[in-house]
Structure 1
């Protein structure tokens, strides 16, 4: 915990896309983060193709991090149908990998879920028509319910929500409008706004905008590594 003002300094990043060939290492970055933050949050797409070897590479790099690590999976982490193995590798390396759960760290509740697609506002996809469309909407609703169940377990005064998909359209601005429905869902924001949340972080939208707010006033940060941030680094620093 930061001793200067009593606030927790959360370093948040997403979309690392760790590759199997080890062409990019984050060990030095994680060491840097360990010097400036109290907790590291990784908001999905930890791996590039969802391969166990990629997760092993990330776990090795995380040995350079001396902080608690909280993470959720992203869509890329599902690509090779090895989620169980990937999750096991990361959990064994000490990562608090959240999928509809909450973990408390030094008085702050971290709530995590992947989220899902579905669209925003009046353009949100409805459960009508073909079974495939209904299945997509059902998945979107299920992720929102998973998030809500986790938020109900928070008994701390401060809470951070970790997602991969965006809960609002504002932080995906800059992406082609045609793909907005695949970048997130307002259902997530509707859920968040039923609770007291200090900050929401997500990734997925590499060309999006760093900062936005839910209709209920919760601050939202797109922390994809590709997004320009006030730190000038791939990660954001949030004081909670």
Structure 2
């Protein structure tokens, strides 16, 4: 009989090489039979793409399971195509994109994005023309992708926080630089099964929007990999470890 839940391992913000030691320790302590792995960006620090493969090798010790990743702000736009070319055979990159798969009889849809900021950083404002418009248009794009999913389980993965509810613990004056609340309406309207994000190193581990659990899986926050089990019903969180 097909099982009625899927198991997910998730993490982000490894910032290799700085976080490699913590990642090794976190990986060695996992005792969880995962179906998929979600990587919510900033696996490397400041565009140091030479460490991306080392991160994946460490994670490979958890078994041959699909890896789904989004880009963080430290996976610079200038290296994204290089990362796709070098690692596209072993990892699925979702860059404002969607995928569907079937896991033990459960149809799973995942939409992935870097996300948006309510207030772009000063560097972004100076170096990326129209960045505020890009962030606003991205919200619409992600909303459309999610609305098109017709799967048992629907998951949103973003690097930037898609809500401020997981940012408590960060300086409130920085929240607009860490995420965008424009995604909250999408999450509630579509009754998503799960939302995963990173970027916030000092926020909350978990919050709820409507009936949807939202996990901030940043490795500096958890000091371990995040293990989540969700049921086939929308927003059907069973447990977390």
TM-score calculated relative to the size of structure 2: 0.80
**In the alignment, is the contact (CA less than 8 A) between 1:27 and 1:61 conserved in 2?**
yes
Secondary structure in 2 matching 1:56: helix
- The one of 69, 72, 75 equivalent to 2:70 is 72
**In the alignment, is the contact (CA less than 8 A) between 2:15 and 2:45 conserved in 1?**
yes
- Paired position in structure 2 for 1:43: 40
- Paired position in structure 2 for 1:221: 215
Note the C-alpha offset of 1:116.
Answer: 1.6
- Paired position in structure 2 for 1:10: 8
TM-score calculated relative to the size of structure 1: 0.80
Decide which structure has greater strand share: 2
**In the alignment, is the contact (CA less than 8 A) between 1:113 and 1:146 conserved in 2?**
no
Matches within 5 A, 1:1-240: 6-19=4-17, 24=21, 26=23, 29-30=26-27, 33=30, 35-64=32-61, 65-78=63-76, 81-92=78-89, 94-105=90-101, 106=103, 107-118=107-118, 135-214=130-209, 216-228=210-222, 234-240=224-230
Secondary structure in 1 matching 2:132: helix
Note the C-alpha offset of 1:190.
Answer: 2.2
Q: Which 4+ runs in 1 deviate beyond 6 A?
A: 130-134
| Counterpart Cα distance in 1 of 2:19 and 2:201 | 21
- Paired position in structure 2 for 1:122: none
| Counterpart Cα distance in 2 of 1:132 and 1:88 | 25
Give me the CA root mean square deviation: 2.9
**In the alignment, is the contact (CA less than 8 A) between 1:165 and 1:183 conserved in 2?**
yes
| Between 42-51 and 27-36, the greater mean CA deviation after superposition | 27-36
Aligned length: 221
| Counterpart Cα distance in 2 of 1:207 and 1:198 | 24
